[in-house]
A = this chain, B = another copy of it.
């Protein structure tokens, strides 16, 4: 299944901050066929460093998508039945307008003059894309981590446009600890002299800072247990300690590799902006009253969390579920047993597949009956 990236362009987008971005482009891919009633469309929303290439083999890079185990013929998001769309988020660096894009007013990259945006702004841009594809109502919006925040925001911002949402391993607002981890990443980038206040696009990027930020991220994506199983105290290529500061433990090697590799595919300024959007995210708009946010929502919910996920712990999903139940909402919840930590939604997908498949099937049946 070879897929090609596509691009949609819109004249402008009015952001939550009050700023306007003009024009704005959004990169996306699609899989499967839109049915004649345009009723079988599913929007997949990606996590922090993801992109539009969620499934199939990329025409450009030859690489499989980041959720290829969940999207395709016969898979959880079955492309024999559904028309699946995934787009790169606003502010990203994989085709959608972001800090690395040229500002038409100056002919130079926006860099840190790019307007600050929110999860709601990301969703607004996705809505423009969905509108432009002639789809009046999505069957589903589904995503993990920051993708789950977008799914939740869809349910609250455009409840009439989405029949069900599947927020996975996510939260309705970032905790102090989640903000803290993001802040460390931002500080690592901004501490790198190569960051140059964001104006590095004609020079070398802040590779060291971005790499350190990514290393912190990777620790939080795994569980204590999965790290122990994968690395333990295994040494890289020595019988004994080198008593030096080279790579000694395998876990050090893994982190350094992941950090370095990340630099080649991600833009440091996008890192800053997107983590800010995550930290701002608060479905209750600072009131602490999630009930109000969900009061007019009649979308179906399937909320999924993972037992060993300590970055987006299960209690955060359970807060969402409790409020929806209190409102007599249509909500299913599964706390899936997994040792993979936050990464579970990407790698431990057997049970997740069965649950998502059944939920989509019943939602489609209800939609047909309506």
Contact = CB atoms under 8 A, between A and B. Distances in A.
Contact of A216 (B209, B216, B245, B255): B216
Interface of A: 17, 112, 115-116, 173-177, 179-181, 183-184, 186-188, 190-193, 208-209, 211-212, 215-216, 218-219, 222, 224, 227-228, 230-233, 241, 243-245, 248-249, 251-252, 255-256, 259, 272, 276, 279-280, 282, 286, 310, 313
Contacts of A228: 175-177
Contacts of A193: 193
25 contacts: A115-B243, A116-B243, A116-B244, A174-B233, A175-B227, A175-B233, A176-B227, A176-B228, A176-B233, A177-B222, A177-B227, A177-B228, A179-B251, A179-B252, A180-B215, A183-B251, A184-B219, A187-B212, A187-B259, A191-B192, A193-B193, A212-B212, A233-B282, A245-B276, A248-B279
Contacts of A233: 173-176, 179, 282, 286
A180 B227 contact: yes
A250 to B, nearest CB: 8
Contacts of A286: 233
Nearest to A234: B176
How many copies of the polypeptide does the oligomer hold? 2
Given A179-B233, A179-B252, A249-B279, A188 B173 contact: no
B280 A241 contact: yes
Given A211-B187, A212-B191, A232-B176, A181 B219 contact: yes
Contacts of A112: 245
Q: Which are the 7 A-B pairs with shortest beta-carbon distances?
A: A191-B208, A176-B227, A116-B243, A176-B231, A17-B243, A176-B251, A183-B252
A20 to B, nearest CB: 14
A211 B191 contact: yes
B192 A224 contact: no
Contacts of A255: 180, 183-184, 187
Contacts of A183: 215, 249, 251-252, 255-256
A191 B212 CA distance: 8
A115 B245 CA distance: 11
A179 B249 contact: yes
A187 B17 contact: no
A230 B228 CA distance: 31
